């Protein structure tokens, strides 16, 4: 601030976190101030106003709704903001860096992961479905599938006892029963109906429905219940000798021209799918029709829907992650493009507690943690993988889990919560 030969800017520091509030007065700071010096400034102010503030905290700064990553003047110049007005800078406590916790070694590539409070479910290229505890202990390894397991999902993430589902390139999905804490998992139902490999899987929020999609370009909806597949449904059940029900799809939704690579339930009656045919489609699960369609430029590889901020993240067969707001009417549907990966981004996952955070994994063997407000650079690069990252998962907010072609699942502990 003492450097008088450069220009100064008027800023006003605001925050939504009341405990870190500082007096609301405009401050004059050098134009070239960056995050670190702003951090010092805020800590100084906090120390002055609040004697309890002993330990300096790390803050992130938001100017014009985007995280400050370069000197303030450049940040403003990029967005064509006049430097003559008072710039409002919001600061939030910095998201702490995730910490590598564990590495779960598999026999083959891992391409399906979902975590609950205690368990991590993985699908593996050696046709196995594995259950691990979050502490890194393998609970069960189930080899029912005859081909690579592409996706796995718990039916109810809060209640592992309801079982889980796995889909595979052997054209079959399996609904498994599971008793919490034991290794007793057994296939309860086979989902038959796909003609080619199943790549993606999604369970509706109320856990009643299930959607699968794959290389036969059809989206198929199934019921998750094992017993009440009663007479109102047309599909027939075949009870085999060892009590395995074979289910057929409730509905088959045709529309995509190429493989469906990502399925996300928006609510109990709407599904979004992304496909290699460059489209994102929104389906009505009740009426079984297309509600909306977004046509992109590249083949999509994965997607993630955030029920908190109602936006869809989609990664495509290039190096970018795109954020879509399907409800927006003005401008382009693609709101932000996140660019940092150097190869294809194979998987994205929203955080389920924060509107701004998500993680992504790419073929450049990196897992990145992003803030929506910083599109050019991720918050953190989570190192550890030695091959392509095939799947990332953040359904347990404490752990970011990623699996890849180095046959391992890496668990990063989220220190934010």
Contacts to other proteins by CB under 8 A? 107, 109, 111, 125, 148, 170-171, 195-197, 215-216, 257-259, 276-277, 297-299, 301, 317-319, 343-344, 346, 363, 387-388, 390, 405
Place of tokens 């590889």: 301
Neighbouring CB atoms inside 10 A of 297's CB total 10
User: How open is the CA angle 93-32-370, to the nearest 5 degrees?
Assistant: 40
Among residues 321, 214, 306, the alpha carbon closest in space to that of 261 is found at 214
| Least CB distance to other proteins at residue 226 (A) | 24
| Least CB distance to other proteins at residue 317 (A) | 5
- φ, ψ (nearest 5 deg) of residue 376: -85, -35
Neighbouring CB atoms inside 10 A of 339's CB total 16
Of the two residues 63 and 301, which places its CB atom closer to other proteins in the complex? 301
Of the two residues 277 and 371, which places its CB atom closer to other proteins in the complex? 277
| Least CB distance to other proteins at residue 5 (A) | 44
Of the two residues 12 and 298, which places its CB atom closer to other proteins in the complex? 298
| Least CB distance to other proteins at residue 398 (A) | 28
Of the two residues 67 and 299, which places its CB atom closer to other proteins in the complex? 299
- The answer to whether 226 touches 239, Cβ cutoff 8 Å, is no
Of the two residues 68 and 389, which places its CB atom closer to other proteins in the complex? 389
Query: Is 401 strand, coil or helix?
Result: strand
| Least CB distance to other proteins at residue 66 (A) | 27
Of the two residues 209 and 319, which places its CB atom closer to other proteins in the complex? 319
Alpha carbons 173 and 150: distance in angstroms, whole number: 10
- φ, ψ (nearest 5 deg) of residue 236: -105, 150
| Least CB distance to other proteins at residue 110 (A) | 11
Question: 379: alpha, beta or left, given left = phi > 0 and alpha = psi -120 to 50?
Answer: alpha
């Amino acid at each position: 601030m003492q450097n008088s030969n450069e220009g100064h800017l008027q800023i006003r520091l605001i925050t939504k976190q009341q405990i870190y509030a500082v007096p609301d007065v405009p401050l004059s700071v050098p134009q070239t101030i960056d995050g670190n010096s702003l951090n010092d400034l805020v800590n100084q102010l906090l120390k002055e106003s609040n004697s309890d503030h002993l330990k300096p905290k790390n803050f992130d700064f938001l100017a014009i709704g985007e995280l400050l990553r370069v000197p303030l003047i450049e940040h403003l110049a990029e967005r064509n903001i006049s430097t003559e007005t008072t710039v409002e800078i919001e600061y939030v406590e910095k998201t702490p860096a995730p910490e590598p916790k564990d590495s779960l070694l598999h026999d083959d590539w891992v391409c399906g992961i979902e975590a609950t409070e205690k368990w991590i479910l993985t699908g593996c290229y050696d046709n196995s479905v594995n259950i691990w505890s979050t502490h890194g202990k393998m609970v069960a390894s189930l080899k029912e599938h005859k081909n690579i397991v592409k996706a796995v999902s718990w039916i109810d993430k809060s209640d592992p006892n309801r079982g889980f589902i796995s889909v595979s390139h052997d054209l079959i999905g399996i609904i498994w029963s599971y008793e919490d804490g034991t290794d007793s998992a057994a296939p309860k139902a086979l989902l038959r109906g796909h003609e080619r490999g199943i790549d993606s899987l999604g369970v509706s929020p109320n856990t009643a429905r299930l959607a699968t999609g794959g290389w036969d370009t059809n989206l198929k909806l199934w019921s998750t219940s094992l017993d009440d597949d009663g007479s109102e449904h047309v599909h027939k059940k075949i009870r085999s000798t060892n009590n395995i029900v074979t289910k057929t799809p409730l509905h088959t939704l045709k529309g995509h021209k190429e493989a469906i690579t990502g399925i996300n339930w928006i609510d109990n009656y709407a599904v979004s799918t992304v496909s290699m045919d460059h489209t994102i489609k929104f389906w009505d699960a009740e009426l079984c029709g297309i509600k909306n369609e977004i046509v992109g430029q590249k083949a999509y590889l994965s997607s993630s829907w955030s029920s908190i901020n109602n936006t869809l993240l989609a990664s495509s067969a290039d190096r970018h992650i795109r954020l879509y707001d399907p409800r927006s009417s003005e401008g382009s549907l693609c709101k932000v493009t996140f660019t940092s990966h150097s190869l294809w981004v194979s998987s994205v996952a929203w955080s389920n507690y924060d509107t701004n955070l998500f993680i992504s994994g790419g073929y450049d063997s990196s897992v990145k943690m992003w803030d929506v407000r910083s599109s050019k650079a991720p918050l953190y690069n989570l190192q550890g993988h030695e091959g392509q990252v095939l799947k990332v998962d953040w359904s347990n907010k404490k752990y970011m889990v990623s699996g890849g072609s180095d046959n391992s699942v890496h668990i990063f502990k989220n220190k934010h919560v």
